[in-house]
Structure 1
Amino acid sequence: MRKQFFLPCTLAFLLAACQSDRQTREQEARAILLPDKGVSLYAAGDIASCKSASPENSGAGKTAALITAGLAQDKDAVVLTLGDNTYPVGLLSEFENCYEPTWGRFKSRTYPSPGNHDYYTPYAAGYYRYFGDAAGPGRRGYYSFTRGSWHIISLNSFLKPAEHSAQLAWLKEELARSTAKCTLAYWHHPLYSSGGHGNDKRMQEAWAMLHAAGADVVLVSHDHDYERFAPQDAEGQLDDARGIRQFVVGTGGAELTPLRFRRSHSEASDNSTFGVLKLVLKEAGYEWEFIPVEKGGFTDRGAALCH
């Protein structure tokens, strides 16, 4: 029987071996804890910029190619948009000429959410006309659906106060009715971010409701970068037991922007490549992987159990 020796990873020549061993243990743990196939989704925001002469060769064209390949391999996979679907101002013509040739390829499998640039056209008229019923009822920009055993909630972070209050009332009822073990919510403006826009408290009350209900994941964009945070509550306190893990995925195709001072509990970040976040939603948890458009580019992956 082969003996096993456990040595501290302190020496340089042992570091690579120890890291490899740790990764192997993590993979084995995921296989035991999350054995089911799950359902896949692809997500990003800040997507189609009409500054590009050729949509196909734009950042949105490159991320669309990644998603198209993933969807071809999995007929049940879907796509989430995290707002600012077109640039500069969300006109219907932008959706038709810049979004449609790129992310429009999988429009029938897309669950969108709006951002501030979508609302630069009054009432986000271009956004709601383009997505139609997929954008939710009543042009309010929030709705929910299920994938596998997951409750997924699309929220609107650019509503006026009265409309936002109505959204919070709806969210409270939605969470109270839910019997799902795992919950994911997504919108545009991040509560936490090390990017140029920084922390934005407009969705803090929604986060508090989600946290109280035991939600697991929030997806956002707005800052044109990628960033993953440790699980937190609505006050920015680390909460490994019941906190929500936030992913900023503003890498859908619009021009990337600088990261600034690293915020508390930021675990990984990058603004060097366009890409999309792939989540595999399992019965008891989820796996994540940031997929860059460039081979050998930045990536980030991991797994976690639901609360």
Structure 2
Amino acid sequence: MIKALRLLLGAPSRQRMRWARRHRYAWVAFALVVALAVLLLWPLSRRFAGADEVTVVAVGDMACDPTDPDMKRSTRETGDRCRQQAVSDLAVAADPDILLALGDLQHEVPTVEAYRTVYGPSYGRLRDRTVPVFGNQEYKAPEASSFLTYFGERVRDPRGYWSEQIGQWHLVVLNSNCSIVTGGCGTGSPQQTWLAADLAANSRRCVIAAWHHPRWSSGIAGADDRTAALYRTLYTNRVDLVLSGHDAQYERFGPLNDAGRADERGVRQFVVGTGGQAHYRPEDPVPEGEPTAEFTEYDYHGVLVLTLRTDSYSWKFDALESNRAVLDEGTARCT
């Protein structure tokens, strides 16, 4: 019987069988490595494979300078400053697919050491899920060098504007540092021209944009006319959302047209400058003629949690140490 089997298999097959027996442990090890790789990579494929529902945490104005005296005021009782660790805990707990970091990530001068010792242990826990937006603090290092070094491949274009897909949504990241970005932000600038072409080519129904300086705001910096042409381009192309930071409050506007008037087909703006560095109330009211928000919160740090679905989105503002964990929430359909 054995002789017949050997004749059936032939010499080359017998040699392969002997080789396999001698190397069976190597095969077992190889199989285990493949299985481990599948287990590790499956969550990543789940996050970035065009899922029908995606969770985004959005926030800006985050980590204090390591030498900031306010680092000693990091409780609500002592001043509620430099709360980056506690606010980042909210972000981590949400387990987002994406952390949309809305600029001014590391104050005051964003050195490599500051990223290592302050931003890294807090929001840096989500570095590999972060879409980083250029704020004005980033440019306090020459050409935003420390920001670019820290985030590396997470910055898709060093000019500060690009687009990518998040689940079923199209995301546009823009650079609102209009005096620094080449050509500025006005009509016909390289950035605005690129934006118009990108949105014209987009086939996704739902679109979200992000830049640092808000077009509309009741905060200390107020409305920023420099981004008017970018906002107008969003409105013309029926973009659903634009997210910003810079001013140290949470604020949600209703859908607005490019003149700041209510429009059901307009762009809804969120201001989320509540990432831990500070929060404060403005001294002056909103100037006459400028839009007022549907909801504003000046007194709490926190993060905006968005759930992006195929044709709709929901939002909630998770506030730090508030009597109500969620201060603002709602749902809307894409335009």
Could you tell me the TM-score, scaled by structure 2's length? 0.75
Q: Is the 8 A contact 2:57 2:304 kept in 1?
A: yes
Counterpart CA distance in 2 for 1:161 and 1:247 is: 23
Which letter maps to 1:303? T
2:269 counterpart of 1:254: no
Q: Does the alignment pair 1:60 with 2:84?
A: yes
User: Which has the larger Rg?
Assistant: 2
Unaligned ranges ≥5, structure 2: 1-50, 76-81
Compare 55-64 and 127-136 and name the one that shifted more: 55-64
Q: Equivalences for 1:131-142 in 2 at 5 Å?
A: 131-137=151-157, 139-142=158-161
Aligned to 1:32: none
Q: 1:289 aligns with which of 294, 300, 316?
A: 316
CA contact (8 A) 2:175 2:181 kept: no
Query: What count of residue pairs does the alignment treat as equivalent?
Result: 266
In the alignment, is the contact (CA less than 8 A) between 2:302 and 2:318 conserved in 1?
yes
Q: Which residue of 1 aligns with 2:210?
A: 186
8 Å Cα contact 1:276/1:290 also seen in 2: yes
Q: TM-score, normalised by structure 1?
A: 0.82
Q: Which moved more, 1:86-95 or 1:189-198?
A: 86-95
1:294 & 1:38 partners in 2: Cα distance?
A: 28
Any gaps of 5 or more consecutive residues in structure 1? 1-35
- The amino acid of 2:168's aligned partner reads S
Aligned to 2:227: 203
In structure 2, the CA distance between the partners of 1:272 and 1:149, relative to structure 1 (3 Å rule), is same
Asked whether 1:49 is paired with 2:64, we answer yes
> Could you give the per-residue CA deviations for residues 105-147 of structure 1, whole angstroms, max 9, x where no partner exists?
110011010111111222111111111121122x111111111
Alpha-carbon deviation of 1:170? Answer: 1.4
Equivalent residue in structure 2 for 1:122, among 135, 139, 142: 142
What's 2:173 paired with?
A: 154
SS at match of 1:105: helix
**Secondary structure of 2:294's partner?**
strand
Distance 1:118 1:146 in 2: 24
d(CA) in 1 for partners of 2:229, 2:98: 28
> Which of 296, 303, 306 is equivalent to 1:276?
303
Equivalents in 2 of 1:113, 1:55: separation in Å?
27
Structure 1 residues 37 and 151, CA, compared in 2 at 3 Å: closer, same or farther?
Answer: closer
In the other structure, the counterpart of 2:53 is 38
How many percent of aligned residue pairs carry the same amino acid? 35
CA distance in 2, matches of 1:267, 1:44: 19
CA contact (8 A) 1:55 1:101 kept: no
Aligned to 1:304: 332
1:80 aligns with 2:103: no
Instruction: Give, in angstroms, the shift of residue 163 of structure 1.
Output: 3.7
The match for 1:267 is 294
* More moved, 158-167 vs 81-90: 158-167
Match of 2:252 in 1: 228
Deviation at 1:264, TM superposition (A): 2.2
2-structure distance, mates of 1:196, 1:278: 24
**Contact conserved, 1:227 with 1:247, CA < 8 A, in 2?**
yes
Q: Which moved more, 1:214-223 or 1:85-94?
A: 85-94
Partner Cα distance (1:154, 1:230) in 2 = 21
Question: How far 1:261 moved relative to its partner?
Answer: 1.5
